[in-house]
Structure 1
C-alpha cells in the first residue's frame, strides 16, 4: 500500500518504521528540514526501550519530503501532527484525498475532525488513536516505548471494507489494530484520561507511573476524570468504557517509565496540545454549563510553562 504519513514526530516515526519494514511504500511528510534530511540520509533510526548504544539502532528506509505537492498519489494518508497544526497539515495533502485515498486522523485531541472537515469532505475522513508510545530523539531516531492497541473507525460507526483493509495492513505490519463502531466515544475516553495524566506529569516533571504513587496526584487525576466525564455526559457522548478510573491506572502502569508527550514538549520548549485536550474539555463544558475548575487551572498552568522558562526575566 502507498501510505503518506503527515508528521515526523514520535508517533509518525513509529508507524512509519512498522509500515515500511512490512514493505509498504511509505512517504513521510514533515516541515522540519533537519528531520526530513536525516530520514533521507539514514531513514528512521529505531531504538528499543532502554537501549542507549548507538550501534543498536535499526535503520528503516522511507521516502521523506517537506512539500506535499510533490506527492501525486496515495492509497492512505495518516495525519499524525500536533492538533494546532491540523489545518495546515490537511491542506498540504488535500489533493490526495478522495474515494480511493481516505484521510485517517491519528491524534489525541478533540476538534481535529471538525477542522479537517473544513478542508476535505467528511466522508473521506476516518478517525483513530493509538496507545503505542515512543520518544522522538535527535535526527530521525525514535525510541520505542510501550506496546499498545490502535483503534480506527468510520465517523458514522459503519464497519466498512476500507477501514478493515487498513486494519489488515496495520496488523500485517505489527501494529495491533481494532476496528470499532464507536470510535468517537472511545476517543473521548482517551482524551479524558490523558487530560488527567499529561498536564500533571508535565507540571511535576515525572514519568507517568509516578502519578499513581502519591495520594495527592491520584486525587487530582480523579477530579479531572470526574469533570471530564460530566462534560461528556452533558454533551451526549457515549464513553464506551464503563470505568475510566481503571483505564487511567492501566495507562499509567503500562507507560510507567515513559515521559508523557506533553512533558516531552515542555522539556523541548515546544507548544503542547493542551488546547485540544483540557482546553477542548473546557470549551465543551462552557457550551453545556458544566463547571470544570480543575481543567481550567491545568490549562492556565501549562500555558504559563509554555511561555516561561527558569531564568527568563519576563514572559
Structure 2
C-alpha cells in the first residue's frame, strides 16, 4: 500500500515509522526542510520502549514528488486542514482514500469539500509522539489503539483493508460502526489533558501528580459527556475517571500533549477544535460548559500573550 502522512510531525512520524518498518511504501510529508533533510539523510531516529533506533523512511516537502497514493493520512493541525489539502491535491487520485486522524471535530467536512465525501474516512488514534529534534522522535505505540471508519458507519472492505494493514504493522486498529462516537471518545481524552497542560506547561507525570488539576480535568470531561449525551452521541467512554485513566496509559511521565508542544514551538493551538467544540455543542444543545469555556479563555489569553511578546513566551 502506498501511503502518505500529510503533516508528518511527532505523531505522523510515529505512525509513518511503524508503517515503513512493516514494508509499506510510506512517505512523510512536512513543510520543514530541516526535518525532511534529516530523515532522508540519517533515517528517522526513534526512541521508544525498545530503546533507540533509526528507521529508513521517505520524506519530502513536495506533494508532486510523491504523486497519487492509495491512502492519505491527514495529521496537520486542525486550523491548517483546508490550506494543507489545497496544496496536497497532487497526492489525490480517483481511488485515493483520505483518512483524518486529527484532534477535535469537523475535519471530515473540510476534507469532503476538498476531495468528495465518498473518498473520506474518519478516525482517532491514541498513539503518541514527541518531536525531540529534526528527524528525531519519541514514539508511543505499544498499548495505544486507533479507530477508523466510514462516515456513515457502514463496515466496508476498503476500511477493513486499512485496519488489517495497520494491525499487521503493529498499530492496533479497530473498525468503528459509530465513528462520531469514537471521535467524541478521543475528544474527551484531549479535553482531559490538553488545555490543562498547555496552561500549566506540565508534562503528564507532573499533571497526574496534582490532585487539584485532576479535579478540574474531571469537571471538564463531565461537561463534555453531558453535552454528547444530550446530543445523542453514542459514547464508549461514559465516566470521567475512566477517561482520565485512559489518557495516560502507555505514555511516559515525560510525555507532552500536542497542545503543549504547539505552545513550546510558538504556534497557536487546536483549542477551538477541542474544548471549544464542547462549548459550541453545549450552546447548540443548551448544556452549560463553564469549565471548558474557562479553559478556552485561558488558552486564548496565552496565545495572545505569545503573539504580542513572542520572545518572552519562547523563553518562558
Give the alignment's TM-score, normalised by structure 2: 0.90
Choose the corresponding residue for 2:177, options 161, 176, 181.
181
Report the counterpart of residue 65 of structure 1 in structure 2: 60
* Deviation sequence 1:200-227 (CA, Å, 0-9, x none): 1222222224434333222211210121
* Deviation sequence 1:9-44 (CA, Å, 0-9, x none): 111101111111111111111111211222222222
1:293 paired to 2:295: no
Using the alignment, how far apart are the partners of 2:217 and 2:108 within structure 1?
Answer: 26
User: 1:71 and 1:146, CA in 2 relative to 1: closer, same or farther beyond 3 A?
Assistant: closer
User: 1:146 and 1:66, CA in 2 relative to 1: closer, same or farther beyond 3 A?
Assistant: closer
* Deviation sequence 1:235-280 (CA, Å, 0-9, x none): 2211133334212223235435122121122222222111110111
For the 8 Å contact 1:78–1:105, the answer to whether it is kept is yes
Using the alignment, how far apart are the partners of 1:304 and 1:133 within structure 2?
Answer: 27
For the 8 Å contact 1:2–1:26, the answer to whether it is kept is yes
Deviation (angstroms), 1:91: 2.1
For the 8 Å contact 2:141–2:171, the answer to whether it is kept is no
1:200 paired to 2:196: yes
Choose the corresponding residue for 1:273, options 260, 270, 273.
270
Report the counterpart of residue 27 of structure 1 in structure 2: 27
Using the alignment, how far apart are the partners of 1:196 and 1:87 within structure 2?
Answer: 27
Using the alignment, how far apart are the partners of 1:23 and 1:50 within structure 2?
Answer: 19
Using the alignment, how far apart are the partners of 1:256 and 1:45 within structure 2?
Answer: 18
Unpaired runs of at least 5, structure 2: none
Report the counterpart of residue 221 of structure 2 in structure 1: 225
Look up the SS of the partner of 2:115 in the other structure: coil
Report the counterpart of residue 161 of structure 1 in structure 2: 157
Look up the SS of the partner of 1:59 in the other structure: strand
Paired residues in the alignment total 308
For the 8 Å contact 1:193–1:244, the answer to whether it is kept is no
Unpaired runs of at least 5, structure 1: none
Q: Which moved more, 1:238-247 or 1:188-197?
A: 238-247
Choose the corresponding residue for 2:84, options 84, 89, 95.
89
Report the counterpart of residue 40 of structure 1 in structure 2: 40
Give the alignment's TM-score, normalised by structure 1: 0.90
Using the alignment, how far apart are the partners of 2:93 and 2:158 within structure 1?
Answer: 12
Report the counterpart of residue 117 of structure 2 in structure 1: 122
Report the counterpart of residue 18 of structure 1 in structure 2: 18
Report the counterpart of residue 172 of structure 1 in structure 2: 168
For the 8 Å contact 1:69–1:92, the answer to whether it is kept is no
User: 1:87 and 1:246, CA in 2 relative to 1: closer, same or farther beyond 3 A?
Assistant: same
Choose the corresponding residue for 1:135, options 120, 130, 134.
130
For the 8 Å contact 1:159–1:181, the answer to whether it is kept is yes
* Deviation sequence 1:87-132 (CA, Å, 0-9, x none): 1222233354355220011112111112112212111111111111
Using the alignment, how far apart are the partners of 2:111 and 2:232 within structure 1?
Answer: 22
